[in-house]
Amino acid sequence: MPTTHGHLIGGAVVASPTTFESRSSGNRADLVGVFAEATREQVRDACVKAREAFPAWSTTPAPIRGELLGKVGDAIEREKESLSKLVTREMGKTLKEARGSVQEAIDTCRFFQSEGRRLYGQTVPSEMPNKELTTYRRPLGVVGIVTAGNFPVAVPSWKIVPALVTGNTIVWKPSEDAPAVSYAFAKLFEEAGLPPGVLNVVFGGGKDAAGAFLIDMMDEGRLDKFAFTGSTAVGRMVGEAAGRNLLHPTLELGGKNPLIVLRDADLDNAVQGALFSAFATGGQRCTSAGNVIVDAPIYDAFVERFLARVAELRIGDPVAHDDVFYGPFINERFFERWRDHYEWGGADGATLAYGQGRIAAGNAPSGWVGGDPDAGYYGWPTVWTGVQPGMRLFQEEVFGPTINLVKVDGVDAAIDAANAVDYGLSSAIYTMDRDWAYRFKSRIQAGMSSINNTTNGAEAHLPFGGVKGSGNGTRESGIWVLEAYTYWHAVNDDVSGRLQLAQMDTAYVQPGDEVDVAALF
Nearest CA to 355 among 332, 397, 376, 385?
385
Q: Is residue 521 part of a domain?
A: no
The reported pTM is 0.96
What distances in angstroms separate CA 77 from CA 108, 111, 158, one per listed residue? 12, 14, 16
Say how many domains are in the chain: 2
Task: Let me know whether 192 and 268 are in one domain.
Answer: no
Task: Let me know whether 23 and 102 are in one domain.
Answer: yes
Helices 80-91 and 179-192 cross at an angle (nearest 10°) of 160
What distances in angstroms separate CA 493 from CA 127, 132, 171, 498, 500, one per listed residue? 13, 5, 36, 12, 11
Q: Is residue 21 part of a domain?
A: yes
CA 484/CA 163 separation, integer angstroms: 8
Q: How many beta carbons lie within 10 A of that of residue 379, not counting itself?
A: 25
CATH number at residue 147: 3.40.605.10
One-letter amino acid for residue 505 of the chain: D
Task: Let me know whether 228 and 288 are in one domain.
Answer: no
CATH number at residue 317: 3.40.309.10
Q: What is the 3-state secondary structure (H, E, C) of 319-378?
A: CCCCCCCECCCCCHHHHHHHHHHHHHHHHHCCEEEECCCECECCECCCCECCCCHHHCCC
Active-site choice (252, 304, 336, 396): 252
Nearest CA to 104 among 120, 80, 88, 128?
80
Nearest CA to 140 among 179, 166, 162, 171?
166
Q: Is residue 511 part of a domain?
A: no
For the question of residue 252 being annotated catalytic, the response is yes
Task: Let me know whether 70 and 133 are in one domain.
Answer: yes
One-letter amino acid for residue 258 of the chain: P
Task: Let me know whether 295 and 202 are in one domain.
Answer: no
CA 357/CA 267 separation, integer angstroms: 28
Task: Let me know whether 208 and 280 are in one domain.
Answer: no
Pairing of strands 382-385, 351-354: antiparallel
Nearest CA to 376 among 422, 434, 300, 316?
316
CA 162/CA 177 separation, integer angstroms: 24
Q: Is residue 313 part of a domain?
A: yes
Q: Is residue 431 part of a domain?
A: yes
Over the chain (521 residues), the average pLDDT of each successive run of 10 is: 90 97 96 98 98 98 98 98 98 97 98 97 96 97 97 97 98 98 98 98 97 98 98 96 98 97 98 98 97 98 98 97 96 96 95 97 94 95 97 96 98 98 98 98 98 92 96 95 98 95 91 92 92
User: Is 48:41 a contact under the CB 8 Å cutoff?
Assistant: no
Q: Is residue 464 part of a domain?
A: no
Element (H, E) at 122: strand 122-124
3-class secondary structure, 25: coil
3-class secondary structure, 223: coil
- What's the start-to-end Cα distance of the chain, in Å? 102
Task: Let me know whether 149 and 191 are in one domain.
Answer: yes
SS3 content of the chain, % helix, strand, coil (to 5): 40, 20, 40
How big is the CA angle at 331 (ends 325 and 337), to the nearest 5 degrees?
95
User: Is 228:206 a contact under the CB 8 Å cutoff?
Assistant: no
Q: 414-438: b or e for each residue (b if 16 or more CB lie within 10 Å)? A: bbebbbbbebbbbbbbbbeeeebbe
What pLDDT sits at residue 1?
A: 62
One-letter amino acid for residue 88 of the chain: T
Task: Let me know whether 272 and 214 are in one domain.
Answer: no
| H-only helix segments in 193-255 | 210-219, 232-244
Task: Let me know whether 272 and 206 are in one domain.
Answer: no
CA 143/CA 452 separation, integer angstroms: 38
Q: Is residue 389 part of a domain?
A: yes
3-class secondary structure, 139: strand
Instruction: Give the gyration radius of the chain's Cα atoms.
Output: 26
Range(s) of the domain holding residue 63: 4-253+474-487
3-class secondary structure, 300: helix
Q: Is residue 425 part of a domain?
A: yes
Task: Let me know whether 308 and 328 are in one domain.
Answer: yes
CA dihedral of 383, 340, 318, 270, whole degrees rounded to 10:
20
Active-site choice (90, 109, 286, 397): 286
Task: Let me know whether 278 and 342 are in one domain.
Answer: yes
Q: State whether the Cα torsion 230-236-241-247 is positive or negative.
A: positive
Task: Let me know whether 196 and 274 are in one domain.
Answer: no
